[in-house]
Chain A
Amino acid sequence: MSSQTPLIDARNLRVCYRSGKGYADAVRGVSFQLGKERLGIVGESGSGKSTIGRALLKLLPSARITADKLSFGGTDLLAASERQMLGIRGKRMSMILQDPKFSLNPVQRVGDQIAEAYLVHSKASRAQAKARTLEMLEAVQIRDPERVYKLYPHEISGGMGQRVMIAMMLIPEPEVIIADEPTSALDVTVRMQVLGILDTLVTSKGIGLIMISHDLNLVRNFCDRVLIMYAGQVVEERAARDLMNATHPYTRGLLAAQPHIGGSRQHLPILKRDPEWKTEGAGAVS
Chain B
Amino acid sequence: MMAGTMASSPVTAPVSARGYGTGALGRLGASLARLMRDPSTGFAVIVVAILLLTALFAPLIATHDPILVDLPNALKPPSGANWFGTDELGRDIFSRIVYGSRITLFIIVLVSIIVGPLGLIVGATSGYFGGWVDTVMMRITDIFLSFPSLILCLAFVAALGAGLENAIVAIALTSWPPIARLARAETLTFRNADYISASRMQGASTLRIIGKSIIPMCIPSVLVRITLSMASVILTAAGLGFLGLGAQPPLPEWGAMIATGRNYMLDSWWLVTFPGLTILLVSLAFNLLGDGLRDALDPKKH
Within 8 Å by CB of B3, from A46, A185, A187, A273, lies A185
Q: Which residues of chain A in 72-113 are interfacial with respect to chain B, using CB atoms and an 8 Å cutoff? A: 98-99
Are A214 and B3 neighbours in the complex by a CB distance under 8 Å?
yes
How many B residues touch A, CB cutoff 8 Å? 9
Tell me, rounded to whole Å, the shortest Cβ–Cβ distance linking B97 to chain A: 42
Are A98 and B7 neighbours in the complex by a CB distance under 8 Å?
no
Task: Output the nearest chain A residue to B4 by Cβ-Cβ distance.
Answer: A45
Are A186 and B7 neighbours in the complex by a CB distance under 8 Å?
no
Q: Mark A195-232, 1 if CB is under 8 A from B, else 0.
A: 00000000000000000001100000000000000000
Are A184 and B7 neighbours in the complex by a CB distance under 8 Å?
no
Task: Output the nearest chain A residue to B10 by Cβ-Cβ distance.
Answer: A273
Tell me, rounded to whole Å, the shortest Cβ–Cβ distance linking B22 to chain A: 17
**Residue from B3, B7, B8 whose CB has the most chain A CB atoms within 10 Å:** B3
Q: Mark A29-63, 1 if CB is under 8 A from B, else 0.
A: 00000000000000011100000000000000000
- Chain B contacts of A181 at CB under 8 A? 3
- Distance A185 CA – B6 CA, assembled complex (angstroms): 16
- Distance A46 CA – B10 CA, assembled complex (angstroms): 13
- Chain B contacts of A187 at CB under 8 A? 1
- Distance A214 CA – B2 CA, assembled complex (angstroms): 12
- Chain A contacts of B2 at CB under 8 A? 98-99, 184-185
Q: Mark B2-16, 1 if CB is under 8 A from A, else 0.
A: 111111110000000
Within 8 Å by CB of A184, from B1, B8, B9, lies B1
Tell me, rounded to whole Å, the shortest Cβ–Cβ distance linking B9 to chain A: 7
Are B1 and A45 neighbours in the complex by a CB distance under 8 Å?
no
Within 8 Å by CB of A98, from B3, B6, B8, lies B3
Are B1 and A214 neighbours in the complex by a CB distance under 8 Å?
no
Task: Output the nearest chain B residue to A180 by Cβ-Cβ distance.
Answer: B3
Q: Mark B102-117, 1 if CB is under 8 A from A, else 0.
A: 0000000000000000
Are A46 and B9 neighbours in the complex by a CB distance under 8 Å?
yes
Are A46 and B1 neighbours in the complex by a CB distance under 8 Å?
no
- Distance A214 CA – B1 CA, assembled complex (angstroms): 14
- Distance A85 CA – B2 CA, assembled complex (angstroms): 30
- Chain A contacts of B9 at CB under 8 A? 46, 273
- Distance A186 CA – B4 CA, assembled complex (angstroms): 13
List 6 tightest A-B contacts by C-beta distance, closest first.
Answer: A184-B3, A46-B7, A45-B5, A45-B7, A214-B5, A181-B3
16 more CB-based (< 8 A) A-B contacts, given A98-B3, A184-B2, A186-B1: A44-B5, A44-B7, A44-B8, A45-B5, A45-B6, A46-B7, A46-B9, A99-B2, A181-B3, A184-B1, A184-B3, A185-B2, A214-B3, A214-B5, A215-B3, A273-B9
Can you report 25 residue pairs joining A to B where beta carbons are below 8 Å apart?
A44-B5, A44-B7, A44-B8, A45-B4, A45-B5, A45-B6, A45-B7, A46-B7, A46-B9, A98-B2, A98-B3, A99-B2, A181-B3, A184-B1, A184-B2, A184-B3, A185-B1, A185-B2, A185-B3, A186-B1, A187-B1, A214-B3, A214-B5, A215-B3, A273-B9
